[in-house]
Amino acid sequence: MTDSVTINDVGPRDGLQNQAKILSPQDRLKLVQALLDAGLRNIEIGAFVSPKAVPAMAGVEDIVAGLPDIDAEFSALIPNRKGYERARDAGIKTMGLVVAASNTMNERNIRMTTAQAVDVARDVLAQAREDDREVQVCIATAWECPFEGKVASDTVLSLSDQLHQAGAASLIIADTIGAANPRAVHQLMSALVAQHGSEYLSCHFHDTRALGMANAYAALEAGIRRFDASIGGLGGCPFAPGATGNISTEDLAMTLSLMGFETGLDMDKLIAAGELANRMTDTQTGVRSL
């Protein structure tokens, strides 16, 4: 049986949140549909955040209302309890909550200390259990913080244990600013797989230093079979100086296919989705041909 890998496309959220050109909810829905046409069934469709803080995410409720009735996991980012309640009331079943491994990043991103962010996560996770919702927790700056520098693996392991005990449906380990390297990725992800099992984990890489795909390969070798990626390599964080785009969904899908992994994606349609993202954002993106 062919080994399979799940790609969660975060383009409609992480890919668009820091672009100079802000897309309407209708255009963002067109991008989601293009991703579905390419075979993607795991898509982060937006974020329930303040439009004053992140203007590109305005109108996320309209996007949820316009999603097709299809067997797919449509997830959304939430920053706190209020964001959770908005997403729940809009009909989102799977949500992502971010807790950075570094204290300064939490203070800059969500105006909380790490301890406070974990407390908020516990509260949201408890409510999610009552509401029959899944909340995945993303551990940001898992390898390096733009303000504090390198992050100790023990810090990430301790934080992952706290969030697991609090009831996180799964953990997403994120190289928020693209500062990780393959050896460090393999070491940390191997330790986390030993601690939690590979099925509980996924990875989120940025390509700041052109090591995103190498880092994905290192995580793959450690047993990870679920990755975030962004159509066309779009991305960047408004709260993390130096962060560039996510690894490209097209590049990741092609690499996995050449290695013999099954993704369920149509490369021609995936490239077409990347070209659509290019035209919409006026940005050079992704793979251009097979």
User: Do residues 114 and 100 make contact, with C-beta atoms less than 8 angstroms apart?
Assistant: yes
- Which region, left, alpha or beta, applies to residue 144 given φ > 0 means left and ψ of -120 to 50 means alpha? beta
CA-based nearest residue to 191, from 213, 225, 223, 217:
223
What are the structure tokens assigned to 76, written together?
A: 């959304």
Q: What does residue 232 show for φ and ψ, rounded to 5 degrees?
A: 70, 5
User: Do residues 143 and 103 make contact, with C-beta atoms less than 8 angstroms apart?
Assistant: no
Catalytically active residues are 237
DSSP type of residue 11: I
202 - beta bridge partners?
172
CA-based nearest residue to 241, from 156, 184, 176:
176
Question: For residues 50 and 79, what is the distance between their CA atoms, to the nearest angstrom?
Answer: 9
Residue whose pair of structure tokens reads 């070209």 in the numeric block? 275
Question: For residues 237 and 219, what is the distance between their CA atoms, to the nearest angstrom?
Answer: 22
Contacts of 245 (CB under 8 A, 6+ apart): 15, 206, 207, 230, 232, 233, 234, 235, 236
Question: For residues 182 and 185, what is the distance between their CA atoms, to the nearest angstrom?
Answer: 5
